[in-house]
Amino acid sequence: MVYLCAAFLALAPCHLISATVTDCNEANLRSAVAEGGTVTLACDGTIVLTQPLIIDRDTVIDASGRAVTLSGSNSVRMFVVSNVSLTLIGLRMANGSAEAGGAILNDGGMLNLTNCVFVANSSLGTNGFRAGDGQGGAIFNRAGTIVATSCTFSNNQALGGTGTQVNSSSGRGGDAYGGAIYSDPGQISLTNCFFVTNSARGGNGANASYSFGSAGSGGGASGGAIWTSNATVSAIRCVFSENPATGGNGGIGLLGGGGGDATGGAIAAALGQIVVSRSSFHRNTAAGGVGGRTSPGGVASGGAISCYGGLVDLSDSHLSYNTAAGGNGRNERGTPSAEGRGGALFAYGTATVTRVLFSTNSTLGAMASGRSTGPGGSGEGGAVYNRLSCNVVSSTFVGNSCQGGPGILFEGSTPPLSFQSYAPAGDGQGGGIYNAGTIQLLNCTLGYNRSLGGAAARVPGYPSGPRGIGRGGGVLNTGLLDIVHVTIFGNLTEIGGGLWSTGQCSVTNSIFAFNYQSNCVGIIIDGGHNLSSDGSCLFTAAGSQNNVNPLLGALDYYGGPTPVFILGLTSPAIDAANDAASASIDQRGLARPVGAHCDIGAMEVRESEAAALTSLGEVTPETFQIRVLGHPNTPYRLLSSSSIQAWTPVATNVTDANGRAVFTHPRATGREFYKVVTP
C-alpha cells in the first residue's frame, strides 16, 4: 500500500491510494495498478496482457469472490516486481511465458499470494549453440521472498532450449530449473499449497553436423515443481503430486551426446535449507535423459526431493510411489550405466527425518549399453539415498524397492550365443535405504522392502546373460550406521535381506525377523539386546539372541503417526531391552517402559494391545489358512489390504479355550496384506 503525503506541509493529511476495476480489460487494470495501493477487481473474466505489468510500488490486487484470469497468451509474463511488495488474492494466472518466470519475475521484492492459481505458465530457454535455461515456469524469484497460502500450481513447465549446430559443432541442450518456482537466493514459505503436474525438462542436445562428428549432450533438469539455490524453503500441509524432472536426450552422431541428469521430481535444492512438515509427495519422478551413441544416459537423484549441500528437515509427511530412474545410453567406456538414486529422498547434506512414512517408492538403474562390458546401472536406495549425514526418527519404510538396470546383447553379436555374448545387468542396492555417509535409525520400522538385481538379457534358444545381484533388502550400508530400537521384518533380496553392510554398523535393542535371504550380511557391532530369527547376524552381546522368533503381529498404525509391527502376546522382545540404551518414547511417541523394562524393537507394547499372533496354515491353489493365537474365547476379525492404508473386513472368528482360531480365505491374485484385530 502507498501513502502519499505533501512533504512540505507538516500537517498535510495522508491518503491510501485505492482503485476498483469494474470492467475486466488490460487498459483498466494497467491504469489501476499504475500508482500502486489496493486494486479491487469487481468483475469477472479473462484479462489478456500484451505486456507485463511493472510493479514498482507496493500493490495489492484483490479478486476475492470473483473469477478473474490473467492470461499471457503464451507470449508474455504477467508481473515484474522490483524491490517492492505485491499481494495477489484470488487471482488466476494462465499461459504466461518468458525465459525466466513465466507468470512473475520477482526481483528482490515481497510476493504475497493467497488463494491464487498458476496454470500452464512456462519458462522456455532459447534454442542455440549455447542453449538457454528454463527457470521457473510460474515464478522466478531473485533474492526476494514468496509467501503463498492456499495456492495451486498446475501444469507449469521449465524447459531448457534445444542445442543447435554452429560451424560443424553441436551445442548442448539448456538446463531446466523449477517447473513452478525458481529461487536463487531468497525465501519461500508455502502453506496449504498444491503442486500438481508441473515439470522441468532439459533441452535435447544437437545432432552431429556430419557423419563422424560429436553430438551435443542433453541438458539437466532440477526440481519438477521447485528449484532453489542458497535459499530457504518451508512447506507446511502441502501436496506435491506427479511432478517430473526429466533430463534432456543427447544428440545423435558417431559420438553421441550424453543424457542430462535429473534431480528432485518435486523439490531440488543446492545448498540452502528445505523444511517440510505435514505434507505429501506422490508419484513424482526424476528421470535421466537418454544418451546417444557412445555416451551414457543421465543419472537420476531424488524422485521427490533432492538436496546437494545444505539442510533438509522432513517431518510428519508421507512420500509414496515416487521414482528415480537412470537414463539409458550406449556408453562404451566399460563403466556401469546411469544410476537411479533415492526413490523418495536424495540427501547429500544434513538431513533430519521425523515421523515420516516412505511407501512404495522405487529406483531403477539404466539398461546396460551393449557397446562395452559395462553393466546396467544400479538402483540405489528405494526410498532414501544418504551421502553425508542423516538422522531418521520414528519413521517407517514399507514396500519400497530398488532394481538394477537390465542386461543386453552386445552389439554385433551373432549366433551361436553364449553367456559372454551379453552385457551384464545392474545391481539393486538398498531396497529401503542406501547409506554411503553417516546415518542413525532410531525407533524405525522397515518392512517388505525389496532389492532386486536387473534382469538378464535373453534370446530364445540360447543361454541367458549375467543377471544383476540384489543386496540389502532393508538397508545397504557402506558408511557409518547406528540402529537403535528398530524393527526390520520381511524384506527381500539375494544377499542380506534385512541388512547388507561393508561399513561400520552398530545395532542395539532391535529386531531382525524373517528377511530373505538371511537377516544380515557383514560385520555388525552388537550393542546388546537384539533379536534375530536366524543366525546370520551373529549376535553375541548380553541380552541378544539368535534363531529366535520375535512373534510379531501385523503392520498398522496402533494410534501412532506411522505404522509399526506390533509385538505378540508372548513375544520374547517384551521387557527385554537394555533400559540404559533405550529411548524415552517408542515410534508412536508413547513412553517407555511400560512393564519392568523397555521392549526390544520400535514399539513399546501395552498388555491390552498385544497382538494375536498369526501364522500361515494349509495352502491350496484356491485357498489358504491363517492361524491365530490370541486371548481365549475372544472374537477376532480378519482384515485385508493391498496397501496397508485402507483395510477391508474379511471374516470374524472366535478363539477356543486355548486362544486358537483358524481363518480360511481365497488366495489373492496380487500382493495382499492381512491382519487380525479384536472387534
- What CATH number is given to the structural domain containing 631? 2.60.40
Tell me: pLDDT of 340 over 80. Answer: yes
> What CA–CA distance (Å, rounded) separates 529 from 545?
7
What pLDDT, on the 0 to 100 scale, is given for residue 7?
36
Q: What are the pLDDT digits (tens) for 428-439?
A: 999 999 999 999
Q: Is residue 635 part of a domain?
A: yes
Question: Average per-residue pLDDT in the chain?
Answer: 92
Q: What are the pLDDT digits (tens) for 106-157?
A: 999 999 999 999 999 999 999 999 999 999 999 999 999 999 999 999 999 9
Least reliable range by pLDDT among 13-27, 216-230, 562-576? 13-27
Tell me: pLDDT of 540 over 90. Answer: yes
* pLDDT range class, residue 670, cuts 50, 70, 90: confident
* pLDDT range class, residue 237, cuts 50, 70, 90: very high
Q: What are the pLDDT digits (tens) for 402-412?
A: 999 999 988 88
pTM score, whole prediction? 0.91
Q: Is residue 461 part of a domain?
A: no
Instruction: For residue 544, report the phi and psi dihedrals to the nearest 5 degrees.
Output: -90, 150
* pLDDT range class, residue 609, cuts 50, 70, 90: confident
Q: Is residue 355 part of a domain?
A: no
| Rounded mean pLDDT, 234-241 | 98
* pLDDT range class, residue 101, cuts 50, 70, 90: very high
**Grid cell for residue 634:** 475372544
E strand intervals along 473-622:
475-477, 480-489, 499-501, 504-508, 511-513, 520-522, 525-526, 531-532, 552-556, 564-567, 613-619
**Grid cell for residue 677:** 484385530
Q: Is residue 356 part of a domain?
A: no
* pLDDT range class, residue 13, cuts 50, 70, 90: very low
Domain span including residue 631: 613-677
> What CA–CA distance (Å, rounded) separates 535 from 483?
18
What pLDDT, on the 0 to 100 scale, is given for residue 418?
84
What pLDDT, on the 0 to 100 scale, is given for residue 3?
37
What pLDDT, on the 0 to 100 scale, is given for residue 126?
95
Tell me: pLDDT of 587 over 90. Answer: yes
Least reliable range by pLDDT among 244-258, 481-495, 654-668? 654-668
* pLDDT range class, residue 105, cuts 50, 70, 90: very high
Other residues' Cβ atoms within 10 Å of the Cβ of residue 366: 34
Q: What are the pLDDT digits (tens) for 148-188?
A: 999 999 999 999 999 998 887 888 999 999 999 999 999 99
What is the number of domains present in the chain?
A: 1
| Rounded mean pLDDT, 530-559 | 95
What pLDDT, on the 0 to 100 scale, is given for residue 614?
66
> What CA–CA distance (Å, rounded) separates 390 from 477?
13
Task: Using alpha carbons, select from 130, 222, 123 the residue that is nearest to residue 173.
Answer: 130
Q: Is residue 665 part of a domain?
A: yes
| Rounded mean pLDDT, 390-404 | 98
Least reliable range by pLDDT among 490-494, 571-575, 624-628? 624-628
* pLDDT range class, residue 10, cuts 50, 70, 90: very low
Q: Is residue 660 part of a domain?
A: yes
What pLDDT, on the 0 to 100 scale, is given for residue 8?
32
Q: Is residue 126 part of a domain?
A: no
